[in-house]
Amino acid sequence: MDRRLFLKISAIAGGGVALGFVTEEQALAQRGGAMAPPPDVHNYITVAADGTVTITAKNPEVGQGVRNMLPMMIADELDVDWKSVKTVQADYDDSKFVGQSAGGSTATPNNWTPMRQVGAAGRLMFVTAAAQTWNVPAAELSTGSGKVYHKASGKSISYGELAPAVAKLPTPDLAQVKLKDPKDYKIIGVTKPGTEVPKIVTGQPIFAIDVKVPGMLCAVFEKCGVFGGKVASANLDEIKKLPGVKHAFIIDRPDVTEPVIPRDPGLESGVVIVADHYYQAAAARKKLKVTWNEGARASHSSAKYAAKAQEMSKSAPQRTIRKDGDPEGTLKSAAKVVKAQYSYPFIAHAPLEPQNCTAHFQGDKIEIWTNSQTPGGGRRMVSDLLGIPEKNVITHMVRGGGGFGRRLTNDYMVEAAYISKQVNAPVKLIWTREDDMRHDYYRPGGWQNLEAGLDASGKLVAWQNHFISYGEGETFVGSGAMGPTEFPQRFVPNYALHASVQPLAIRTGALRAPSSNAFAFVIQSFIDELAHAAGKDPVAFRLEILESVPAVAAAPAPGAGGRGGGFAPPGMNADRMKGVVKLAAEKSGWGKTKLPKGTGMGIGFHFSHQGYFAEVAQVSVSADNKIKLEKVWVAADVGSHIINPGAADNICQGGIIDGISEMMGQEITIENGKVVQGNFDKHTMLRISEAPPVIEVHYLKSTFNPTGLGEPALPPILPAVANAIFAASGKRLRDLPLKNLGFSWA
């Protein structure tokens, strides 16, 4: 097929944006990109002679839809028809791309400008080539549907025909390239179904777990249930005799030295079994007998953590993170004081595709196939562990069956790489669901002891929180911190945030909307309690709080999202939040709908990852605490454009379902240092019969740059549902998961 002429367009991805704050994921991505040369060598677009446009999607795809969204931005500015576009997945290559990671809802804000610039630069090159071909001024030319037109002469020429000429042109300066007037967008803002859906519905092998390499063996890896535990002995001789088993060996690694376990500590100790096939390795693993040296962490348990948390709650805080005004004094003189303790558990990510990775060690280089959300970080870890230069760790990015933050770490990647080197053959490592659930890094649990004061008019005048988390000294465990600007800081004159921590024996870290996924539940539920104490409507009370600061006029620069409410200036724009609260109330018929007894509506809002979300849930609660989710309304302000509206709705609805799953049935507990839950029977996920039949999603288009949707839809649904349960039943729920309080789905 060499009739296809390929054009390579180099473009500057100008992805570097000034950020006042970054998420953990963003920091990782930036470190990943730090090795990259100035963004001047890019391979995004190839045009074949027949006009087929191939656009490279540079970021990992784990279901968030970037495989479509990034190419859509390029294609629109390039002025080609979407039906002529094929998208391809990039490999990890920091000589060509920056920001090849999936985390922090950053793909939209970080790529909104650079991807459009890449497309616009491409379009300009075709115009330039046509101007040279026809010897007419470029200003007389226009483009559309992959063609250049000269109106005066009535001539036209296709991009395919121009491709050879364009290949010789210098790349224009991206900063000088003119972007389209948004009113002329033909692709941005128009639903484009996932380009891989035809493959998904016919079962083609497109996921990481489907990767096959000639001569490949399959590995399983048994680790100690207690983090850092080492193998004392194992019946390897017996295992090696079992059908198909090619290798069985022990990995012995030093324990981590940090007081707080890093979320991605690299290769751990354990026993590896390698066989011709997975079913053989899995069968052999059933016969594996290991004696472990579990170490000191085996004394940890959830019961002890809870007891210690209650003890700390009653004691003076270890430290104060922020204090504004005089919260203690104001609480003493307040007309009304409301006090409550809230709690939430550890939870697991559990993406549906279990962790897996294929690695092929070949002496001075290694080839890796991974669904990592941070392939660059994984590549560096493999390089460090095996002593192979990073550029010789060839890292293919393969579609992942869900991410939710779990694939921000690369434990399974270093394991596969190490095992491949040990057995000197290509190896696919597959974790079981139990491996995944018991060797996750978890959303940290915590307790919050809240106290708030209302004045005689029912206005919020003081807010105090003693936050109980995990950590050592001033270091919180991963994603276990609360920042000094967490909502409602800045919206209440007298505010204090105190914290106490205790040591933890498991890994923790980012899970979809990190910290927000727990904090929104606490803060927005407590605000509901205050609204009721003040005798005010929960929507009106929230708007009153949001009214208490002056409006922020300036549009923030495109960039990564913050996590909590407020998080560093410019932080949360109260006007945008008021807008979505009002929209959610309007769409749901808040205060206007007469609901039957036992049915109620609740609202919650939260700002995270630069997204403004307010959500209303309508639920019915039976006398025996069976909950039926009747309907959910989502109001979102994520800026001026929804790039792929159908996919956006899908991901918002998914965030709602995910949040509801978390609040009802998810809890990871520790006994003897080990995670108890191993599968979906104990760490449950919402099933179709439990899902709300209707989840309406409404966007409030604003003048701000578009931001991401992967995370910020999730946090407000937890308090919206909890507040709706209160409205329906008078039961105030302060401890997750709800199953522990005797609730279940109808």
Q: Which is nearer to ligand FES, 131 or 283 (CB)?
A: 283
Q: Which is nearer to ligand FES, 42 or 67 (CB)?
A: 67
Q: Does 295 bind another protein (CB under 8 A)?
A: no
Whether residue 530 contacts residue 452, with contact meaning beta carbons closer than 8 Å, is answered with yes
- 533-562 core/surface letters (b: 16 or more CB in 10 A; e: else): bbebbbbebbbbbbeebeeeeeebebbbbb
We find the least distance from the C-beta atom of residue 271 to another protein, in angstroms, to be: 19
| 601 φ, ψ (degrees, to nearest 5) | -115, 145
| 514 φ, ψ (degrees, to nearest 5) | -55, 145
Q: Does 401 bind another protein (CB under 8 A)?
A: yes
Residue with tokens 């097929």: 1
Report d(CA 282, CA 275) in Å as an integer.
9
Q: Which one of residues 233, 279, 593, 735 is an interface residue with another protein (CB under 8 A)?
A: 279
Report d(CA 26, CA 691) in Å as an integer.
32
Whether residue 42 contacts residue 204, with contact meaning beta carbons closer than 8 Å, is answered with no
Q: Which one of residues 680, 700, 744, 746 is an interface residue with another protein (CB under 8 A)?
A: 680
We find the least distance from the C-beta atom of residue 689 to ligand FES, in angstroms, to be: 16
Could you say which of another protein, ligand FES, none residue 651 binds, taking C-beta under 5 to 8 angstroms by partner kind? Answer: another protein
Report d(CA 425, CA 427) in Å as an integer.
6
Q: How many residues bind ligand FES (CB under 6 A)?
A: 3
Q: By C-alpha distance, which of 125, 141, 101 is closest to 174?
A: 125
Q: Which is nearer to ligand FES, 553 or 688 (CB)?
A: 688
Q: Which is nearer to another protein, 626 or 731 (CB)?
A: 626
Q: Which is nearer to ligand FES, 399 or 466 (CB)?
A: 399
Q: Which one of residues 141, 273, 656, 738 is an interface residue with another protein (CB under 8 A)?
A: 656
* Cα distances (angstroms) measured from residue 704 to each of 112, 641, 700, 722: 12, 9, 11, 31
Which residues inside 435-464 make contact with ligand FES, applying CB under 6 A?
A: none
Site string for ligand FES, 50-69 (x = CB under 6 A): -------------x------
Could you say which of another protein, ligand FES, none residue 715 binds, taking C-beta under 5 to 8 angstroms by partner kind? Answer: none
Site string for ligand FES, 350-379 (x = CB under 6 A): --x---------------------------
Report d(CA 176, CA 121) in Å as an integer.
9
Report d(CA 588, CA 598) in Å as an integer.
18
Q: Which is nearer to ligand FES, 402 or 570 (CB)?
A: 402
Q: Does 685 bind another protein (CB under 8 A)?
A: yes
We find the least distance from the C-beta atom of residue 103 to ligand FES, in angstroms, to be: 17
Q: Does 710 bind ligand FES (CB under 6 A)?
A: no
Q: Tally DSSP H helices, then E strands, for the chain.
A: 17, 28
* The two structure tokens encoding residue 216: 């490949």
Q: Which is nearer to ligand FES, 283 or 385 (CB)?
A: 283
Which residues inside 332-351 make contact with another protein, applying CB under 8 A?
A: 350-351
Q: How many residues bind another protein (CB under 8 A)?
A: 70
Q: Which is nearer to another protein, 110 or 653 (CB)?
A: 653
Report d(CA 471, CA 485) in Å as an integer.
20
Q: Which is nearer to ligand FES, 196 or 276 (CB)?
A: 196
Q: Which one of residues 135, 176, 257, 689 is an interface residue with another protein (CB under 8 A)?
A: 689
Could you say which of ligand FES, another protein, none residue 179 binds, taking C-beta under 5 to 8 angstroms by partner kind? Answer: none
Could you say which of another protein, ligand FES, none residue 265 binds, taking C-beta under 5 to 8 angstroms by partner kind? Answer: none
Q: Which is nearer to another protein, 350 or 675 (CB)?
A: 350
Q: Does 198 bind another protein (CB under 8 A)?
A: yes
Beta carbons within 8 Å of 681's beta carbon, 6+ residues apart: none
Whether residue 334 contacts residue 450, with contact meaning beta carbons closer than 8 Å, is answered with no
Q: Does 353 bind another protein (CB under 8 A)?
A: yes
* The two structure tokens encoding residue 170: 């210098």
Which residues inside 214-253 make contact with ligand FES, applying CB under 6 A?
A: none
Whether residue 9 contacts residue 126, with contact meaning beta carbons closer than 8 Å, is answered with no
We find the least distance from the C-beta atom of residue 679 to ligand FES, in angstroms, to be: 9
We find the least distance from the C-beta atom of residue 465 to another protein, in angstroms, to be: 31
Which residues inside 201-230 make contact with another protein, applying CB under 8 A?
A: 201-207, 209-210, 212, 218
Neighbours of 455 (CB within 10 A): 15
Q: By C-alpha distance, which of 272, 713, 320 is closest to 513?
A: 713
Q: Which is nearer to ligand FES, 122 or 351 (CB)?
A: 351
DSSP symbols for 447-501: EEEEEEEE-TTS-EEEEEEEEEEEEETTEEPTT----TT-TTBTTBSEEEEEEEE
Residues listed for the chain: 746
We find the least distance from the C-beta atom of residue 63 to ligand FES, in angstroms, to be: 5
We find the least distance from the C-beta atom of residue 402 to ligand FES, in angstroms, to be: 5
Bin 566: left if φ > 0, else alpha if -120 < ψ < 50, else beta.
left
Report d(CA 3, CA 26) in Å as an integer.
42
| 272 φ, ψ (degrees, to nearest 5) | -105, 135
Strand stretches in 230-335, DSSP E: 230-234, 245-251, 270-275, 290-293, 319-324
Give the nearest residue (CB) to ligand FES. 352
Q: Which one of residues 645, 700, 701, 744 is an interface residue with another protein (CB under 8 A)?
A: 645
Q: Does 402 bind ligand FES (CB under 6 A)?
A: yes
Report d(CA 360, CA 232) in Å as an integer.
29
Q: Which is nearer to ligand FES, 16 or 402 (CB)?
A: 402
Report d(CA 32, CA 378) in Å as an integer.
10
Q: Does 89 bind another protein (CB under 8 A)?
A: no
Q: Does 243 bind another protein (CB under 8 A)?
A: yes
Q: Does 651 bind another protein (CB under 8 A)?
A: yes
Q: Does 278 bind another protein (CB under 8 A)?
A: yes
The residue range among 16-24, 428-436, 465-473, 559-567 that interacts with another protein, by the rule CB under 8 A, is 428-436
Q: What separation, in Å, do the N-terminal and C-terminal C-alpha atoms of the chain show?
A: 59
Q: Does 639 bind another protein (CB under 8 A)?
A: no
Q: Where are the alpha helices (DSSP H) in 194-247?
A: 197-201, 236-240
Report d(CA 22, CA 502) in Å as an integer.
26
Binding residues (CB under 6 A) for ligand FES: these are: 63, 352, 402
Binding residues (CB under 8 A) for another protein: these are: 62-65, 189-191, 193-194, 196-198, 200-207, 209-210, 212, 218, 243, 277-279, 282-283, 350-354, 399-404, 430, 432-433, 645-647, 649-651, 653-658, 661, 679-681, 685-689, 691-695
